[in-house]
Structure 1
């Protein structure tokens, strides 16, 4: 909504009213944290290439789970335009790999090191291929540093980049408009729900 504040129209006002109705109807919802044996980090990444019709910039998002609990998440418009969908997606992979490395080091400082490698799920096959293919292509020179960074972490056994079909990519909730049923399903997968017991008067 902020991108249209300089020139709002009726459609934008209707969208704002819909947002406010949603917030009012889910005011009691929150992020649920449960006790679980956390043995690994799992990340989901998605980028909606040229998703913004006004600026032609990508909208990207990610979420990172520690065991069954959502630990870190982000959704934002990229500051610059990407020349290809692979560039937009791979830049986000590099960013999330950096984030998960920081989380692994933080857990190590808490004396709770992870015994397994971090799994990063992508719905873009070319990104998965680039993370393990040692051959540098002419069309990927503009993201060469990101590629080398991710490949080094893969070679060290800290990261695995795997493919996941789009219909199971829960981070789509951060980057795309979704059907109502799929939105509710993905929201539940993020552990966003009503509290199991009332906290009124506590």
Structure 2
């Protein structure tokens, strides 16, 4: 915004047709009998070597409904020393969010009876979340590790592997092919509204 250049204008020209084509899209909510929290987390760690910035994102579903989502591109150089650390911090962020949502639902007298499922596409993160033997090699993320392990031990959370081709949070962190983007978008219940407005 402070110093626009030609590449910025080119990006804007790509975004505007998408926005125009999705003006009638909205988040659809459905009645869902089994109440359970399912989350997807993804981090695109320092993808561009020039900037060394990471993008992280997650989405949380309550039943079939998208309840919470987050994505952010770091404004500073990546603080994580590896992709595993970056992914683990991403999982820690979504576990904090789901812990807050579980407490909120309990206060609303709808306590969850099942553990929250958290999916990430990094096998090492899944292993690190439940294996006590690897802690010595990961002292710099010890707080996040202990927090997630406490949640796993209390059976509030299960961290599971989900291949990248099924990782819904990729919609926040990566440029996707149109078919995959459209599939992920519809899986998040973002679709054209069927409700008629006062003008329509």
TM-score higher than 0.5: yes
- Deviation, structure 1 residue 6: 4.8
Tell me which moved more, 171-180 or 14-23: 14-23
When normalised by structure 2's length, the TM-score is 0.93
User: Would you say the 8 A contact 1:46–1:122 is kept in 2?
Assistant: yes
Q: Which residue of 2 aligns with 1:180?
A: 178
- Deviation, structure 1 residue 170: 1.1
2:49 and 2:18 map into 1 onto residues whose CA distance is: 25
2:158 and 2:166 map into 1 onto residues whose CA distance is: 18
Q: Which residue of 2 aligns with 1:154?
A: 152
Give the counterpart of 1:165 among 163, 166, 174. Answer: 163
Matched ranges for 1:56-95 at <5 A = 56-78=52-74, 80=76, 81=78, 82-95=80-93
Secondary structure of 2:90's counterpart equals helix
1:8 and 1:109 map into 2 onto residues whose CA distance is: 48
Please say if 1:47 is aligned against 2:43.
yes
2:75 and 2:13 map into 1 onto residues whose CA distance is: 28
- Deviation, structure 1 residue 95: 1.1
User: Would you say the 8 A contact 1:46–1:89 is kept in 2?
Assistant: yes
Please give the per-residue CA displacement for 1:18-48, whole angstroms capped at 9, x wherever unaligned.
1111111111111111111142100000000
When normalised by structure 1's length, the TM-score is 0.92
Please give the per-residue CA displacement for 1:171-192, whole angstroms capped at 9, x wherever unaligned.
1010000111111111111111
Tell me which moved more, 47-56 or 142-151: 47-56
Please say if 1:22 is aligned against 2:18.
yes
Structure 2: runs of 5+ lacking an equivalent: none
1:78 and 1:107 map into 2 onto residues whose CA distance is: 31
User: Would you say the 8 A contact 1:38–1:68 is kept in 2?
Assistant: no
- Report the CA distance shift for 1:8/1:52 in structure 2 as closer, same or farther (over 3 A): farther
Backbone CA RMSD of aligned residues: 1.6
Moved over 6 A (4+): none
